[in-house]
């Protein structure tokens, strides 16, 4: 007991040799410090009292040796700091009192070794509670949670938490921050004796301590003098040696937590070394769907980098299935067949690059790629069961029948593809066949069944025989047949198939009924019975007897002719006055002007047909008044109306007889070389074939309500196949009109424009000359009736147009051909009504030169004698526009607010219809003059006619070549071009005439390709200042060419802009169905409704008949159409509109068929168009490829020609085009300079010697 003395210091070793001392009391003295070793030897001391001294510091080793000490009292001193090691040697210490000192900070870990602690007091000190003290808070919480120890410690600073127990302090209150790494170490390669720096910088609150680990063990800087920890945390290793090799990691820790950097590697090398493989990749076999690893590993210094390529040195595909493992192996999961092949592993460092290869062999179970289907065939036919499989190794295909071997004979063949072919199938071949695909991995099998039907070709049960019948009677011709399967019966008259109409009816058993027989019905009738095995046919000849007796109508002939001439001429003259003596006032006027024949001969011929028809109508009316019978009904017999001798009188007086053309084809010098303007004398045996102003041809017999001239649907209440026909306007709004457009990703708007230009070379129906009723002269649009020539398009009750008070849309019938419909009584008989094609049917550039001598002379520049065409105003570019049409105001001056510029004059009267078309007309008129000028330079001795005809011949050939070699392949695609077939030479038995179905429905598919805008682009393919044009502003607007930049912007807009894609649900844009020829305060026209109405006007049979004509399946339900019209919504709309699939009009059905892949046409449309274009080509004696038309050298030049070249030569200033202007290209990369586009070398047309008729 040394209490209450004045002891000031304790020397080390003061208490030696007091080994058994239990308690030492030193309190209440003046001791200032406790040195190291002060209590040596007191190994059994349990209680040490040092309170109430003046102790300020305690040395690290002060309590060393006190292994048994349990209680240590240091309170009421002046201690400010404590060394953490001071209490490390006190394993049994239970009680430590440090209260009432001046301790402000405690170093982390100061009390962590006191495992026996039961009571710790730190209260009444000057403790700063900052982040540094959090370790103590954690320790006190641990004591509290364990319940074994009590502790007291309170905060003095900061003032806001003065007096708080340290145990309750949280890091958030003190704004403490976990360490975060701001600079990471990097991998390093070393050799012996280097110095390495591993950077590690961290921030946090409090400032983190940096500790380095090697291979997860803490590095001791003390044990190895080569290691130094710099102030910023960087580890410096001097004089590197092999033992330094390993994984290093830096850890930053503070009281708020700790964080580690990424692991980095120190690689030790003796000295730089080239790569060498430790593991070579090995050839590996793997099954499809499994995973595979090609191992590859290399050593070297620096450590080589491993990369992989496919065997041909192409990079590996970027595929999530393919990865490179950390060791360098190539790992592919879910292996596919295409993964098989050679792979190369490259090991590369700065010294060298080495590689090794291995194969992955992907083995796959056989999988069928083509599977056979059950088949039913007729004996004697050949049947193929295709069966193809893939796998690795490639599987072998084996066939068995009923589990046994196939018959070993020449009839059973397994082709190299795996297909089983059985020729001349016999009844005993029926049964089950199995195709097996086998390789070493396994096999797959598939079973099919062959059914063999015995052959039963159709056999006639009743056959027709020749008959002679009285004119005006009804006749039934018997024919029926049996066979297996049951045959279908069709009838042909003189080689053309008969269709169901008011004239003809085929009964279910096959009998043909002909109503109201006339001499036109005389001829050979053939009954054809077809089934899948074959067909049989039998024929008979029908003769008609015309007794010479007077008819009911004879007394009325004279008065009726006079009245007919008067009423028809009155209606025509009022129409002409209305149209030509003032500006057009409505879209109807525009349409009428646009279609009004310009050639006087055409006008006369159409007038004659109308007078003839009107005469008969009047006679009919007179007879009707007397007889009180319904002459409009189908029961009326037209052949009984007038006696034959009176027919000739009507023919003479109406002008029909005068307009029968007599052809003179005697000038063979001319005809062998050149075309006539009107197309006559092309076919020398049939000079009228393909000529202008002749009736359209037909693929199928016409279908009129009464068999002769009344259109289907003219009587709204009349049912067809149980349903009334829908109004064309309703079909248009329900099925055809669209605001939406899908751009064509392949073809430009030029595809549409060439189609329209080409159409205007092939057909133009002669419209009625009158817009007014013949009966009373009232205008067709005001009366909304169907009196000739009116055939108004009625507007349905809930149509948006009704709101504006419109009841109908203007429409007049096409003029009849003299000798058809009513007028056919000329021939002593009724022929169904036919319509007139005003143009030649050949591709002969009649759109440039006209289809009659009259038109051609109007266009030619005869004054100069240089073979040129007339030209109009010359533009700044130095190139001329087309000449203006002379005469009364025209459709082009429809709006006085716009520039008063008349229509242009060209070979086709429709050239002003829209600006895109006008610009193409301009191009080709310039092409004529360009070639003519060139030919005159080469052959100065040629006269103007020779130059004109030679040039015309070249221009026609250019158009034929562009159409068949550049345009049709895009429209037809591969399938259609195969149907068209190769050119085999001229066939004089082919009639090139345009068919009514082509002109009225099929070729109108081009309407679905029209964009609602005409784009106008400058030389940089940017919009011109005046902007693009909505289509309705481009109709009849030649002033825009004169005043708004010429033809180039329009042409660039055609070949520089994508066309409209034909999608079955997006057919005609509303610019055509709602705003056609629109003008203020008038009813705009609807092109789709007009197309449908025109089809009915022309007696075009319904879609179903053409399906049968084209050998497609007959459709009894709308579901039967699903192969050609896949969209169920469209089939549902057709069903709602038409009720029966047998009623659908041809035009809308062709439009909604799905496109044949690679083409722009549906299957039926492709059949109709390929038929027409084949006839146009094969029946043209002057076709450009027909040997002798051009010399071989000239033909080679014509085959160089392209629309791109014509644009370059004849645009105002077109310098860049695509090689193929029908194909979409990116500007500028897809465009070429005009210099690169091949030219036509006209030197091939130079005469070697002068003389008459040497041209060409």
Q: Pick out the residues of the known binding site.
A: 1007
Q: How far is CA 406 from the centre of its chain?
A: 47
Q: CA angle at residue 11 from 5 to 14, to 5 degrees?
A: 80
**Both structure tokens of 92:** 């049994």
Nearest 10 degrees: Cα torsion 309, 314, 320, 323: 10
Query: Annotated catalytic, 760?
Result: yes
What tokens does 296 get?
């590859």
Catalytic residue, chosen from 75, 760, 966, 1104, is 760
Residue (of 51, 97, 80) closest to 156 by Cα position: 80
Which is it for the CA torsion 843, 844, 846, 852, positive or negative?
Answer: negative
Closest among 849, 827, 828 to 839, alpha carbons compared = 849
User: CA–CA separation, 219 vs 233, rounded Å?
Assistant: 13
Dump strand ranges (E) for 221-339: 227-229, 235-237, 246-254, 257-260, 264-269, 273-279, 284-287, 292-294, 297-301, 305-310, 322-324, 330-332
Spacing of C-alpha 122 from chain mean position: 84
Dist. CA 545–CA 469, nearest whole Å: 6
- Tell me the two tokens of residue 361: 């062999």
Give the DSSP letter string of 863-907.
Answer: SS-SSPBP---B-TTS-BPPPBP-SS--GGG--TTS-----B--S
* Burial 1051-1088, CB ≥16 within 10 A → b, else e: bbbbbbbbbbbbbbebbbbbbbbbbbbbbeebbbbbbb
Residues whose CB falls within 8 Å of the CB of residue 338, separated by 6 or more in sequence, listed in order: none
All residues at 6 or more sequence positions from 385 whose CB lies less than 8 Å from its CB, including other chains: 372, 375, 399, 419, 420, 421, 433, 435, 448, 450
Residue 544: helix, strand or coil by DSSP?
strand
Distance, CA of 1214 to CA of 1221 (rounded, Å): 13
Question: Residue 149: which region, alpha, beta or left (left: phi > 0; alpha: psi -120 to 50)?
Answer: beta
**Rounded CA separation 1105/1098 (Å):** 15
Q: 869 and 955 in contact (C-beta within 8 Å)?
A: no
What does the alpha-carbon distance between residue 466 and residue 577 come to, in Å, rounded to a whole number? 55
CB atoms within 10 A of CB 1243: 9
SS3 829: coil
Quote the tokens at residue 966.
């550049």
CA distance 471 to 640: 8
CA distance 405 to 434: 10
Catalytic residue set: 760
């Amino acid at each position: 007991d040394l209490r209450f003395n004045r002891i000031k210091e304790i020397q080390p070793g003061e208490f030696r040799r007091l080994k058994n001392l239990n308690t030492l009391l030193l309190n209440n003295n003046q001791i200032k410090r406790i040195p190291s070793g002060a209590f040596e030897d007191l190994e059994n001391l349990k209680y040490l009292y040092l309170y109430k001294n003046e102790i300020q510091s305690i040395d690290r080793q002060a309590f060393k040796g006190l292994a048994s000490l349990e209680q240590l009292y240091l309170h009421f001193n002046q201690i400010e700091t404590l060394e953490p090691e001071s209490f490390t040697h006190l394993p049994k210490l239970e009680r430590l009192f440090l209260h009432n000192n001046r301790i402000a900070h405690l170093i982390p870990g100061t009390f962590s070794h006191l495992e026996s602690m039961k009571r710790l007091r730190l209260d009444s000190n000057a403790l700063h509670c900052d982040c540094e003290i959090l370790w103590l808070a954690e320790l006190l919480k641990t004591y509290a949670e364990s319940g074994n120890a009590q502790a007291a410690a309170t905060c003095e600073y900061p003032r806001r938490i003065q007096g708080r127990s340290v145990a309750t302090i949280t890091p958030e209150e003190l704004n403490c921050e976990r360490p975060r790494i701001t600079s990471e170490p990097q991998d390093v390669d070393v050799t012996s004796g280097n110095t390495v720096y591993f950077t590690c910088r961290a921030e946090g609150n409090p400032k983190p301590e940096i500790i380095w680990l090697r291979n997860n063990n803490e590095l001791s800087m003390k044990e190895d003098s080569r290691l130094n920890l710099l102030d910023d945390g960087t580890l410096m290793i001097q004089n590197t040696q092999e033992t330094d090799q390993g994984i290093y990691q830096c850890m930053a820790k503070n009281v708020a937590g700790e964080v580690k950097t990424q692991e980095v590697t120190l690689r030790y090398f003796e000295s730089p070394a080239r790569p060498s493989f430790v593991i070579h990749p090995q050839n590996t076999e793997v099954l499809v769907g499994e995973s595979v690893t090609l191992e590859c590993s290399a050593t070297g210094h620096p450590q080589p980098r491993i990369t992989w390529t496919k065997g041909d040195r192409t990079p590996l595909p970027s595929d999530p299935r393919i990865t490179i493992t950390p060791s360098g192996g190539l790992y592919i999961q879910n292996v596919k067949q295409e993964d098989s092949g050679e792979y190369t592993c490259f090991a590369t460092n700065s010294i060298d690059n080495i590689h090794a290869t291995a194969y992955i062999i992907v083995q796959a179970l056989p999988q069928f790629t083509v599977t056979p289907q059950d088949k039913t065939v007729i004996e004697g036919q050949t049947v193929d069961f295709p069966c193809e499989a893939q796998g690795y190794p490639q599987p072998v295909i084996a066939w068995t029948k009923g589990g046994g071997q196939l018959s070993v004979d020449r009839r059973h063949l397994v082709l190299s593809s795996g297909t089983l072919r059985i020729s001349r199938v016999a009844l005993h071949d029926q049964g089950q066949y199995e195709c097996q695909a086998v390789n070493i991995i396994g096999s797959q099998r598939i079973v099919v069944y062959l059914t063999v039907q015995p052959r039963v070709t159709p056999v006639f049960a009743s056959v027709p025989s020749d008959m002679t019948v009285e004119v005006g009677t009804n006749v039934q011709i018997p024919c029926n047949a049996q066979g297996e399967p049951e045959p279908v019966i069709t009838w042909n008259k003189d080689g053309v198939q008969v269709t169901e109409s008011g004239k003809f009816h085929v009964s279910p058993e096959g009998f043909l009924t002909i109503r109201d027989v006339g001499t036109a019905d005389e001829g050979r009738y053939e009954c054809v019975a077809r089934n899948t095995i074959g067909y049989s046919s039998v024929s008979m000849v029908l003769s008609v007897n015309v007794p010479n007796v007077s008819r009911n109508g004879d007394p009325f002939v004279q008065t009726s002719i006079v009245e007919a001439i008067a009423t028809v001429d009155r209606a025509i003259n009022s129409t002409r006055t209305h149209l030509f003596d003032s500006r057009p006032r409505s879209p109807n006027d525009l349409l009428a002007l646009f279609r009004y024949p310009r050639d006087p001969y055409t006008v006369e011929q159409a007038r004659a047909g109308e007078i003839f028809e009107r005469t008969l109508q009047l006679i009919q009316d007179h007879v009707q008044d007397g007889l009180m019978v319904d002459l409009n009904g189908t029961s009326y017999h037209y052949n009984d109306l007038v006696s034959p001798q009176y027919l000739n009188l009507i023919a003479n007086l109406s002008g029909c007889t005068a307009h029968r053309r007599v052809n003179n084809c005697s000038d063979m010098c001319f005809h062998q070389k050149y075309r006539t303007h009107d197309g006559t004398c092309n076919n020398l045996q049939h000079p009228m074939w393909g000529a202008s102003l002749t009736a359209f041809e037909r693929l199928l017999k016409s279908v009129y309500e009464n068999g002769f001239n009344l259109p289907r649907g003219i009587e709204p209440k009349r049912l067809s196949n149980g349903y009334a026909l829908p109004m064309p306007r309703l079909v248009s709004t329900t099925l055809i009109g669209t605001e939406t457009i899908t751009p064509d990703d392949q073809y430009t708007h030029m595809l549409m424009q060439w189609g329209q230009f080409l159409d205007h070379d092939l057909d133009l129906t002669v419209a009625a000359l009158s817009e007014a009723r013949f009966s009373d002269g009232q205008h067709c649009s005001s009366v909304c009736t169907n009196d000739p020539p009116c055939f108004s398009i009625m507007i349905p009750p809930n149509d948006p147009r009704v709101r504006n008070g419109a009841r109908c849309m203007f429409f007049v019938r096409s003029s009849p051909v003299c000798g058809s419909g009513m007028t056919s009584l000329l021939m002593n008989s009724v022929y169904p009504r036919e319509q007139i094609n005003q143009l030649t049917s050949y591709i002969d550039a009649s759109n440039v030169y006209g289809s009659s001598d009259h038109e051609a002379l109007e266009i030619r520049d005869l004054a100069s004698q240089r073979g040129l065409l007339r030209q109009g105003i010359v533009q700044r570019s130095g190139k001329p526009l087309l000449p203006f049409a002379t005469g009364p105001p025209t459709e082009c001056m429809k709006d006085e607010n716009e520039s008063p510029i008349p229509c242009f004059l060209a070979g086709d009267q429709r050239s002003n219809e829209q600006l895109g078309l006008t610009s193409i007309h301009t191009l080709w008129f310039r092409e004529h003059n360009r070639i003519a000028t060139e030919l005159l330079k080469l052959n100065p001795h040629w006269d103007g006619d020779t130059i004109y005809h030679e040039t015309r011949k070249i221009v026609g050939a250019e158009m034929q070549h562009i159409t068949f070699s550049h345009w049709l392949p895009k429209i037809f695609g591969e399938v259609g071009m195969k149907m068209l077939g190769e050119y085999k030479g001229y066939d004089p038995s082919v009639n090139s005439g345009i068919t009514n179905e082509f002109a009225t429905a099929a070729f109108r598919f081009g309407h679905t390709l029209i964009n609602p805008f005409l784009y106008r682009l400058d030389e940089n393919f940017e919009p011109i200042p005046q902007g693009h044009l909505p289509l309705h502003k481009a109709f009849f607007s030649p002033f825009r060419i004169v005043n708004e930049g010429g033809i180039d912007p329009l042409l660039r807009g055609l070949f520089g802009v994508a066309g409209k894609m034909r999608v079955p649900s997006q057919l005609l844009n509303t610019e055509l169905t709602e705003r056609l020829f629109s003008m203020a305060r008038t009813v705009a026209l609807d092109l789709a409704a007009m197309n449908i109405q025109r089809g009915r006007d022309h007696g075009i049979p319904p879609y179903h008949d053409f399906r049968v004509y084209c050998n497609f399946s007959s459709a009894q339900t709308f579901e039967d159409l699903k192969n050609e019209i896949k969209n169920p919504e469209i089939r549902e709309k057709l069903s709602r509109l038409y009720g029966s699939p047998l009623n659908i009009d041809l035009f809308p059905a062709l439009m909604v068929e799905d496109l044949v892949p690679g083409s722009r046409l549906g299957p039926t449309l492709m059949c109709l168009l390929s038929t027409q274009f084949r006839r146009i080509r094969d029946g043209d004696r002057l076709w450009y490829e027909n040997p002798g038309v051009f010399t071989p050298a000239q033909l080679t030049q014509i085959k160089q020609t392209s629309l791109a070249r014509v644009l370059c030569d004849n645009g105002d200033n077109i310098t860049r085009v695509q090689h193929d202007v029908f194909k979409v290209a990116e500007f500028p990369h897809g465009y070429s300079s005009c210099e690169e586009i091949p030219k036509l070398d006209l030197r091939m047309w130079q005469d070697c010697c002068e003389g008459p008729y040497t041209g060409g």
